[in-house]
């Protein structure tokens, strides 16, 4: 009953919005949520309502909807309507959407791209050429510039007109350029309103040049550097220039937040051995199929660990206490290794670890592993001795615990760095390497030491 009520409410809100009957502000994100609710119950109505949205918001809604909706959207929304919607998007969003469509249907993407005006086509083609790790791939070409000798009042009037015409959105600063659009200064709108509008920018800035020095990055620099700048200086927007200092565009904070969120999500999914795109599929079969691969790999590694146990079946048959204690060694190693692994993967993603300080990071993890190893070796050795009243069993599990925690710290810190050096996402497969290694080392050291000490 509640579910049907939610759908009815969503339909009512969307229809009221389309009829301009809503007297409060509603975000694109909220509209997308209501459309998702409707789609789960009635796909036909979902597409009927989607087509009724004006072009100046349709593109934003399509971007806000889950990516796996896109295939059906381009099949149900006319290319002409999609083209007009994309024209109203900022260049970076338009480029992303064209690329997403191209991955599904190249012909459709080409049809939409060719329908855009020449300037938009050139901007999109220029942005597509960048590698996904380059800053230029995330910039938008819409910027507000003023010449150094322009009167401030003229620039403000021009900005007002561009805003009225919908040519510019989310403008936070004025970029002062000289000949050939070479970037000189960046002036926030907060500072701009304090200026004397009768003067030129040159006259107003004279003697205060250092206050308005433009912080910027080159278009071919890694996006990780851009993220660091936004985090370190709480930036709202950052100009992007080419090798010669020519202003090309800007990256805004909302794009950076999206990148950070996307990377964090990828790490979580990869560490769990789960495919993000498959998990968003509405088909249970598709989601399950993607998980099977990693589960199969885990099965093979579990068999390998069991084979190690099989090598010591004689000692296990003689000492039941070993079977009771054995899972503790493997569990402690796995958990300790996961701690090191998670820290390393996260620091690599944030750019806090590079070739220069990698040794220090490994050293720190090893010191922690040694400290934890001694603490829990003594603790578990004492527990095992009191439990089974056998000092040899206490000695065996204590030594094994120390060995396995050292191994866990080393592997947990080394595997992500090795994968990074090989050009592989450190989160992908790290957990499989870790659990396999700690299980094998834990079982082998525990049962091997038991064979030597007890037999």
Quick one: residue 170, left, alpha or beta (phi over 0 = left, psi -120 to 50 = alpha)? left
pLDDT at 425: 74
Residue length of the chain: 455
Residues in CB range of 452: below 8 A, 6 or more apart: none
**Same CATH topology for 2-131 and 272-454?**
no
Count Cβ neighbours within 10 Å for each residue of 232-252 and write b for 16 or more, e otherwise: eeebbbbbbbeeebebbbbbb
pLDDT at 173: 93
Q: Is 77 helix (H, G, I), strand (E, B) or coil?
A: coil
pLDDT at 287: 59
pLDDT at 252: 93
| 403-454 tens-digit pLDDT | 999 999 999 898 888 888 887 777 766 777 788 888 888 899 999 999 888 8
* 361 touches 414 (CB < 8 A): no
Q: Which residue ranges make up each domain of the chain?
A: 2-131, 145-253, 272-454
Sign of CA dihedral 199, 202, 208, 213: positive
Instruction: Kindly state the tokens that stand for 345.
Output: 């993967």
Instruction: Kindly state the tokens that stand for 343.
Output: 């820290």
d(CA 114, CA 93): 17
Query: What would the CATH number be for the domain defined by 272-454?
Result: 1.10.357.20
* 309 touches 440 (CB < 8 A): no
pLDDT at 253: 92
pLDDT at 301: 80
pLDDT at 184: 95
Strand 173-177 and strand 183-188: the pairing is antiparallel
Fold for domain 145-253? CBS-domain (3.10.580)
d(CA 392, CA 376): 17
pLDDT at 271: 62
Locus of tokens 């578990």? 380
pLDDT at 306: 86
pLDDT at 279: 47
Bridge partners (DSSP) listed for residue 187: 174
151: number of CA atoms within 13 Å, CB side?
6
Residue stretches of the chain with pLDDT short of 70: 1-3, 267-291, 294, 350, 428-429
* 431 touches 273 (CB < 8 A): yes
* 150 touches 202 (CB < 8 A): no
d(CA 93, CA 89): 6
d(CA 108, CA 91): 19
Tell if the pTM clears 0.75, that is, is over it.
no
Closest of 19, 69, 22 to residue 46, by C-alpha: 69
pLDDT at 454: 83
The domain made up of 2-131 is a member of CATH 1.25.60.10: yes
Which CA distances in Å does 349 have to 76, 234, 322? 38, 19, 40
Q: Is 19 exposed, middle or buried (0-12, 13-18, 19+ CB in 10 A)?
A: exposed
């Amino acid at each position: 009953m509640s579910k049907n009520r939610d759908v009815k409410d969503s339909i009512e809100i969307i229809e009221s919005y389309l009829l301009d009957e809503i007297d409060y502000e509603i975000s694109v994100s909220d509209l997308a949520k209501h459309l998702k609710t409707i789609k789960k119950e009635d796909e036909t109505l979902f597409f009927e309502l989607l087509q009724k949205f004006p072009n100046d918001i349709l593109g934003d809604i399509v971007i806000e909807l889950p990516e796996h909706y896109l295939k059906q959207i381009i099949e149900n929304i006319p290319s002409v309507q999609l083209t007009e919607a994309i024209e109203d998007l900022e260049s970076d969003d338009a480029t992303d959407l064209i690329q997403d469509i191209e991955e599904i249907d190249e012909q459709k993407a080409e049809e939409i791209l060719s329908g855009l005006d020449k300037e938009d086509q050139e901007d999109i083609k220029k942005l597509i050429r960048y590698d996904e790790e380059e800053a230029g791939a995330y910039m938008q070409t819409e910027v507000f510039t003023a010449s150094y000798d322009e009167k401030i009042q003229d620039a403000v009037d021009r900005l007002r007109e561009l805003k009225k015409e919908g040519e510019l959105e989310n403008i936070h600063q004025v970029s002062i350029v000289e000949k050939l659009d070479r970037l000189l200064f960046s002036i926030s709108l907060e500072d701009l309103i304090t200026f004397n509008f009768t003067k030129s920018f040159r006259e107003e800035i004279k003697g205060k040049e250092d206050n308005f020095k433009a912080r910027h990055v080159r278009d071919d620099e890694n996006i990780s550097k851009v993220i660091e700048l936004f985090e370190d200086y709480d930036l709202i927007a950052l100009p992007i220039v080419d090798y010669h200092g020519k202003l090309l565009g800007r990256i805004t904070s909302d794009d950076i937040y999206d990148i950070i969120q996307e990377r964090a999500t990828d790490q979580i999914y990869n560490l769990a051995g789960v495919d993000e795109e498959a998990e968003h599929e509405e088909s249970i079969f598709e989601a399950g199929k993607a998980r099977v691969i990693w589960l199969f790999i885990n099965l093979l590694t579990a068999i390998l660990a069991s084979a190690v146990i099989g090598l010591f079946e004689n000692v296990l048959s003689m000492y039941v206490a070993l079977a009771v204690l054995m899972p503790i060694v493997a569990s402690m190693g796995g958990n300790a290794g996961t701690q090191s692994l998670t820290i390393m993967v996260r620091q690599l993603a944030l750019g806090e670890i590079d070739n220069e300080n990698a040794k220090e990071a490994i050293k720190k993890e090893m010191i922690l592993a040694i400290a934890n190893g001694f603490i829990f070796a003594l603790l578990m050795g004492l527990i095992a001795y009191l439990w089974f009243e056998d000092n040899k069993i206490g000695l065996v599990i204590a030594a094994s615990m120390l060995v396995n925690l050292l191994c866990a710290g080393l592997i947990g810190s080394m595997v992500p760095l090795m994968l990074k050096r090989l050009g592989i996402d450190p989160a992908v497969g790290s957990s499989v390497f870790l659990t396999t290694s700690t299980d094998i080392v834990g079982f082998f050291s525990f049962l091997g030491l038991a064979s030597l000490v007890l037999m």
